[in-house]
Amino acid sequence: MTPFEIMGVVNVTPDSFSDGGTFDSDDDAVRHARRLVEEGAAIVDIGGESTRPGAAPVPAEEERRRVVPVVEGIAALGLGARISVDTMKLEVARAAVDAGATYVNDVTAFRHDTALAGFVAERGLECCLMHMLGEPRTMQRDPRYDDVVSDVKAFLEERLAAAVAAGIAEERVQLDPGIGFGKTLEHNLELLRRLDELVAIGRPIVVGTSRKSFLGRITGRDVTERVHATVATSVIAFERGARVFRVHDVAATADALAVTAATFGQWRVIPTRTTTTKTT
C-alpha cells in the first residue's frame, strides 16, 4: 500500500450536510468523481443516504436509484480508482457492486444488515467498518463513553472479528473511528490524538473529518470554509498512523499528505499534474 490513500466523497443526496444537492444530474456527479480521481483520489465513495445528525432514513429503492447510475457512469470511464458504495443496506450494496463497485463502506459496521457481511465475503470485496454510537437521528444527544478510545477500539476489534467470522479476509477490512458519529468535540479530538491506539489493531485506519461540525466549532467557519481545518486533521491523523482519508476536498488533502509523507520518510513521487486547481 502507498503511504496514504484518499477516498473522495461523492454524495448523490439532496440533504448531505456539506454537499447535499450539489449535482444537477448523474453525469454531473460522474464528472465530479473523475475530477476527484485526477486530483489524487484512489477510491471514490458514492453515497445515496445522508448520515448527518438528525437525518431521516432513505428507502432502499430510492437510495439505489440515486447511486447505481453514478457507479455505472464512473465504472464506464475506467479511471483506475476503486469505487466504494457508502451504504448500510445489502440491497443497495448488491446493486452498486453489480454496477462496478468493489468496496462497501458501512457506517454501521454490518450491524444494520448482518447479511451484508456474507455478501462482502462471497464477492471478495473490500470494506470499511465504522464506529457509531446510536443512530444518526439521535447520536449527537449527549454521547458518553468510559474512555472513548478504548471503547471505540473494543468495538472495532469486535466488528473485525465478526467480519472475519462471516468469511471476509482480514486484509480486505479497513476500520474507522467514526469522527462525529455520536461524539462530542472533545471525543473527536481525543480520538485523533490517540489514533495510534487504533492503528495497533493492525488494520488500515480510515479517517473522515471532512468539513465536519467540530471543525466549525473550533474555527467558527461555515461548512464550505473548512478545507484548511480538514487538512490539519488529516495531517495529524497521518502522523498518528491513519492511512485512508475520506474527504470532499481531494486536491488540498493530496498535497498536504504528500508533504507529510515525504517529511516522515515515505516519499512517493507524484506525477506531474495534467489538471490545475483553480484558486479564484
Q: Which residues are catalytic?
A: 212, 246
Rounded Cα gap, residues 27 and 118, in angstroms: 32
Q: Is 113 in the site for ligand HH2 (CB under 6 A)?
A: no
Q: Which one of residues 29, 33, 37, 52 is an interface residue with ligand HH2 (CB under 6 A)?
A: 52
Q: Is 245 in the site for ligand HH2 (CB under 6 A)?
A: no
Q: Is 163 in the site for ligand HH2 (CB under 6 A)?
A: no
Instruction: Characterise 16 by phi-psi region: left (phi > 0), alpha (psi -120 to 50), beta (else).
Output: beta
Shortest spacing between CB 116 and ligand HH2, in angstroms: 14
State which residue, 99 or 242, has the beta carbon closest to ligand HH2: 242
Shortest spacing between CB 63 and ligand HH2, in angstroms: 12
State which residue, 20 or 118, has the beta carbon closest to ligand HH2: 20
Question: H or E stretch including 77?
Answer: helix 60-77
Q: Is 140 in the site for ligand HH2 (CB under 6 A)?
A: no
Q: Is 215 in the site for ligand HH2 (CB under 6 A)?
A: no
Rounded Cα gap, residues 16 and 22, in angstroms: 9
DSSP letters for 240-264: TT--EEEES-HHHHHHHHHHHHHHT
- The residues with which 207 forms a beta bridge, in sequence order, are 245
Instruction: Characterise 242 by phi-psi region: left (phi > 0), alpha (psi -120 to 50), beta (else).
Output: beta
Q: Cell numbers of 279, please?
A: 484558486
The candidate with the shortest Cα–Cα distance to 49, out of 17, 26, 23, 25, is 17
Shortest spacing between CB 111 and ligand HH2, in angstroms: 14
State which residue, 65 or 262, has the beta carbon closest to ligand HH2: 65
Rounded Cα gap, residues 45 and 14, in angstroms: 16
What is the pairing mode between strands 5-11 and 43-47? parallel
Site for ligand HH2 in 12-31 (CB under 6 A): 13, 16-18
Dihedral sign for Cα atoms in the order 254, 260, 264, 270: positive
State which residue, 241 or 264, has the beta carbon closest to ligand HH2: 241
Q: Is 188 in the site for ligand HH2 (CB under 6 A)?
A: no
Site for ligand HH2 in 67-96 (CB under 6 A): 86
Which of the ranges 44-52, 62-70, 114-122, 161-169 carries the binding residues for ligand HH2, by CB under 6 A?
44-52
Question: H or E stretch including 94?
Answer: helix 90-99
72: helix, strand or coil: helix
Q: Is 130 in the site for ligand HH2 (CB under 6 A)?
A: yes
Q: Is 203 in the site for ligand HH2 (CB under 6 A)?
A: no
Q: Which one of residues 6, 29, 44, 47 is an interface residue with ligand HH2 (CB under 6 A)?
A: 47
Q: Is 237 in the site for ligand HH2 (CB under 6 A)?
A: no
DSSP 8-state symbol, 205: B
Q: What is the CA angle 209-215-218, rounded to 5?
A: 150
State which residue, 16 or 260, has the beta carbon closest to ligand HH2: 16
Residue ranges in contact with ligand HH2 by CB under 6 A:
9, 11, 13, 16-18, 47, 50-52, 86, 105, 107, 128, 130, 176, 178-179, 206, 208, 246
